[in-house]
Chains A and B, each alone.
Chain A
């Protein structure tokens, strides 16, 4: 079964983890081409969730992060990339991450170190 949801209903929604804690807000959806027999489609691969994601979507993640680090360590910058299969969109107005904040932070840290 499938249903449709407008993009602007998802953007800005608060994402919570399985314990009900806030992960951040949906700021960007990254899509990629999926090839199949009938042609190809763009499908959403990951959701960018973060406290400063709006800057990120304008300036790019690297620039935003560097800027915030320069501005001071007081800014609680956090950004997470959640794969499509780890975000529960059963209720699009209340998206839920299947991973906890700690798991997402650890994954993001590992990605930053690469």
Chain B
């Protein structure tokens, strides 16, 4: 990593990959820790859920409230400590596993309930087994 980092240019909306270089989404925001008498610390990267909806607009927040009406589920936001960032370049590699991220819940649900029923969708897995 370089010494200097432009948070908007280099980090915000950058593609994130996990430790196996699997895509895990884009950086929806960066959390800054404001400390008395000390410079603000770059604390974490947030992906997905309410944070993404907030950046898209109010209509998206309203849609989300409508879809999840009456449900007590997690907000689907993945919080990755900035200390887990391993490299920053065209993509940002972070030391996490994709399957452990709450922001991947929708992807997982779609893969298990929809995509796997499409003919040929499991071809990749079959090839790996052989």
A residues contacting B by CB (< 8 A) are: 1-8, 10-11, 27-34, 39, 41-45, 57-58, 84-85, 89, 92
Contact = CB atoms under 8 A, between A and B. Distances in A.
The SS class assigned to the B binding surface is: strand
A6 B83 contact: no
17 contacts: A2-B36, A4-B34, A5-B32, A6-B51, A7-B29, A10-B32, A29-B7, A31-B6, A32-B5, A39-B83, A41-B42, A43-B38, A43-B39, A44-B39, A44-B42, A57-B8, A57-B9
A28 B39 contact: no
A20 B80 CA distance: 37
The SS class assigned to the A binding surface is: strand
6 closest Cβ pairs, A-B complex: A42-B42, A43-B39, A7-B30, A44-B40, A6-B29, A84-B39
Nearest to B83: A39
B16 to A, nearest CB: 15
Nearest to B13: A8
A89 B40 contact: yes
Contact of B6 (A10, A28, A34): A28
B3 interface: yes
Nearest to A10: B32
Contacts of A27: 8
